[in-house]
């Protein structure tokens, strides 16, 4: 187990500086254009692939960093550059983690490379769980997966919504119901390979922020996938379902909810994205406050402005510390006895929303225009309190964990 540290080692600092350079030189200058275009920034993803940032190797290296600081450090730097473009770069990683966490070695080796494509022909992947009637209430998914034993195929039907890269992905990971009587325990994840008939993109959403990231519905109509596309395999699923049915019958002891443990481990990464956006807005506001003069002096000479900056910086640093702690806990298998993963995501996302708003205030009229980036950052920041569990759901998880209550 790695000791918790608040300092990056030399190797991590090198990676951070390299990522920061890419964020400053490639992502930041492209941010306003792709925000206006509301399209996936393929040339930027391609550039990230060329230098090795858009790759499984890079992601896996950070993911398995024993200090736990690899992923938060990478997310913070990329999202400091721009949230929409960064989500287009890391969105595939979120789907890949779904396969890494639940797939067999063969599935990992087959599908993850196809999620990324190669440097000359980059691809993206999508993770499709949310549905029109199942957002926060994940247990009420309706998309069905039915096994056709004669053909050893699964047949998927349903509509997914809000899928990042939905419909444009080479590989879709779809969560579906295999046993409707078991709530979230009756769910399983499936790979839908490239070009599978029956999968189509529904509505593409026009969004408030992170507009360089594609978000759309995914419609599944009699989508047939081979039995080998069930993540983890049929035997494991059958065992898991049998255990869940037995518990449902006997009212047996509640076992640790594996899905919740996974969320606790993945939420700090979203917190780190929020820290990146918050830090970016704080830095713009600090520079502006030092140079903008009113009443014959820089506006930072006014305590009303300086104290806001003090609060902003304090919140950004506090958010980062919560994120780093939770991320270290996740990598080192520490139990989340106070839902520390949810805590980090809650605090960091609320911080991003607040700090980006304060930045607009400090820039005055300029802050309210698209001539300056804080307006975009404020729009982008609103997503952090919504996806990967809203702030209300984070509070619910934290409160129920503290109370020792069931979280479903
Ligand atoms: C840009 C974007 C990208 C996304 N990407 C993906 C993706 O790639 N894959 C994917 O599967 N999903 C994705 N999502 C979906 C996202 O995770 C959901 O939007 C989120 O979980 C909230 O669900 P909902 O929108 O249905 O809101 P609802 O669940 O309907 O919630 C509406 C409001 O009610 C509140 N609320 C609900 N239940 C409770 C409760 N019990 N107590 C208190 N308050 C409650 C919520 O906090 C919220 O304020 C994305 C969403 C967006 C906007």
CA torsion angle 297 298 302 307 (round to 10): -170
Mutate to test the pocket of ligand 1, among 94, 162, 209 (most ligand atoms within 8 A of CB): 162
User: 340-354, pLDDT tens digit by residue?
Assistant: 999 999 999 999 999
Given a contact cutoff of 8 angstroms between Cβ atoms, the answer to whether 41 and 165 are in contact is no
Residue ranges lining ligand 1, Cβ < 6 Å: 127-130, 135-136, 162-164, 207, 210, 215, 383, 386-390, 392-393, 396
> Taking Cα atoms as reference points, which of 30, 21, 29 lies closest to residue 51?
21
| C-beta neighbour count of 57 within 10 angstroms | 9
Mutate to test the pocket of ligand 1, among 130, 131, 259 (most ligand atoms within 8 A of CB): 130
> Taking Cα atoms as reference points, which of 165, 64, 62 lies closest to residue 116?
165
Spacing, Cα 54 to ligand 1 middle (Å): 27
Enumerate helices (H) and strands (E) in the chain, giving the number of each.
13, 11
Q: What sign has the CA pseudo-torsion 37, 39, 43, 47?
A: positive
Given a contact cutoff of 8 angstroms between Cβ atoms, the answer to whether 349 and 385 are in contact is yes
Nearest CA to ligand 1 atom 12: 130
Nearest CA to ligand 1 atom 41: 393
> Taking Cα atoms as reference points, which of 191, 178, 192 lies closest to residue 240?
178
Task: State how far the Cα of 267 lies from the Cα of 273, in Å rounded to an integer.
Answer: 10
Residues of the chain with pLDDT under 50: 253, 255
User: 49-99, pLDDT tens digit by residue?
Assistant: 999 999 988 988 998 899 999 999 999 999 999 999 999 999 999 899 889
DSSP conformation class of 183: G
SS3 330: helix
CA distances 347 to 74, 260, 342, 344, Å, are 19, 18, 9, 5
Nearest CA to ligand 1 atom 35: 392
Any idea which residue has 């958010």 for tokens? 319
pLDDT score, position 255: 46
SS3 220: strand
Task: State how far the Cα of 94 lies from the Cα of 74, in Å rounded to an integer.
Answer: 14
Given a contact cutoff of 8 angstroms between Cβ atoms, the answer to whether 284 and 363 are in contact is yes
Residues present in the chain in total: 408
Spacing, Cα 34 to ligand 1 middle (Å): 25
Spacing, Cα 106 to ligand 1 middle (Å): 32
Q: Which residues are catalytic?
A: 388
Any idea which residue has 């009212």 for tokens? 251
> Taking Cα atoms as reference points, which of 353, 351, 329 lies closest to residue 341?
329
Task: State how far the Cα of 2 lies from the Cα of 342, in Å rounded to an integer.
Answer: 22
Spacing, Cα 394 to ligand 1 middle (Å): 11
Which two tokens mark 275? Answer: 């820290």
Task: State how far the Cα of 141 lies from the Cα of 157, in Å rounded to an integer.
Answer: 12
Which two tokens mark 361? Answer: 């205030």
Mutate to test the pocket of ligand 1, among 79, 136, 164, 216 (most ligand atoms within 8 A of CB): 136
pLDDT score, position 101: 85
Distance of alpha carbon 114 from the chain centroid? 20
| Phi, psi of 159, rounded to the nearest 5 degrees | -125, 125
Pairing state of beta strands 125-128 and 171-177? Answer: parallel
pLDDT score, position 257: 57
Which two tokens mark 69? Answer: 């600081």
Task: State how far the Cα of 198 lies from the Cα of 164, in Å rounded to an integer.
Answer: 19
Task: State how far the Cα of 304 lies from the Cα of 308, in Å rounded to an integer.
Answer: 7
Cα radius of gyration (the chain): 22
Given a contact cutoff of 8 angstroms between Cβ atoms, the answer to whether 54 and 180 are in contact is no
Nearest CA to ligand 1 atom 48: 390
Distance of alpha carbon 198 from the chain centroid? 27
Nearest CA to ligand 1 atom 38: 136
pLDDT score, position 2: 82
Exposed (0-12), middle (13-18) or buried (19+): which is 14, by Cβ within 10 Å? exposed
Question: Residue 126's beta-bridge partner residues?
Answer: 172
């Amino acid at each position: 187990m790695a000791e918790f540290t608040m300092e990056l080692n030399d190797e991590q600092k090198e990676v951070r500086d390299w990522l920061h350079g890419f964020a400053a030189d490639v992502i930041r200058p492209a941010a306003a254009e792709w925000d206006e275009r509301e399209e996936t920034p393929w040339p930027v993803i391609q550039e990230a692939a060329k230098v090795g940032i858009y790759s499984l190797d890079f992601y896996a290296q950070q993911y398995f960093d024993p200090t736990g600081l690899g992923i938060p450090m990478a997310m913070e730097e990329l999202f400091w550059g721009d949230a929409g473009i960064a989500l287009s770069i890391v969105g595939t990683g979120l789907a890949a983690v779904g396969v890494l966490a639940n797939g067999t070695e063969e599935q990992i080796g087959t599908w993850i490379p196809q999620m990324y494509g190669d440097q000359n022909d980059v691809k993206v992947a999508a993770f499709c769980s949310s549905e029109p009637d199942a957002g926060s209430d994940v247990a009420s998914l309706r998309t069905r997966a039915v096994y056709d034993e004669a053909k050893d195929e699964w047949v998927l039907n349903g509509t997914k919504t809000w899928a990042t890269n939905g419909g444009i992905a080479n590989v879709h990971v779809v969560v579906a119901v295999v046993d409707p009587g078991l709530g979230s325990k009756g769910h399983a994840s499936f790979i839908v390979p490239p070009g599978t008939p029956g999968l189509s993109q529904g509505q593409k959403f026009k969004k408030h922020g992170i507009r360089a990231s594609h978000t759309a519905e995914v419609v599944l109509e009699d989508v047939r996938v081979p039995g080998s596309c069930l993540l983890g395999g049929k035997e494991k699923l059958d065992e898991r379902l049998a255990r869940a049915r037995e518990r449902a019958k006997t009212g047996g002891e509640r076992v640790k909810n594996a899905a919740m443990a996974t969320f606790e481990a993945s939420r700090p990464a979203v917190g780190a994205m929020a820290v990146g956006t918050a830090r970016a807005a704080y830095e713009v506001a600090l520079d502006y406050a030092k140079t903008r003069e009113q009443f014959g002096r820089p506006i930072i000479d006014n305590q009303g402005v300086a104290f806001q900056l003090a609060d902003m910086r304090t919140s950004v640093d506090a958010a980062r510390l919560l994120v780093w702690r939770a991320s270290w806990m996740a990598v080192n298998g520490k139990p989340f006895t106070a839902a520390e993963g949810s805590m980090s995501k809650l605090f960091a996302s609320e911080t991003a929303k607040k700090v980006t708003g304060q930045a607009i205030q400090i820039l005055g009229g300029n802050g309210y225009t698209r001539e300056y980036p804080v307006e975009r950052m404020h729009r982008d920041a609103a997503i952090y309190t919504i996806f990967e569990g809203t702030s209300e759901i984070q509070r619910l998880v934290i409160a129920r964990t503290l109370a020792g209550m069931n979280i479903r």
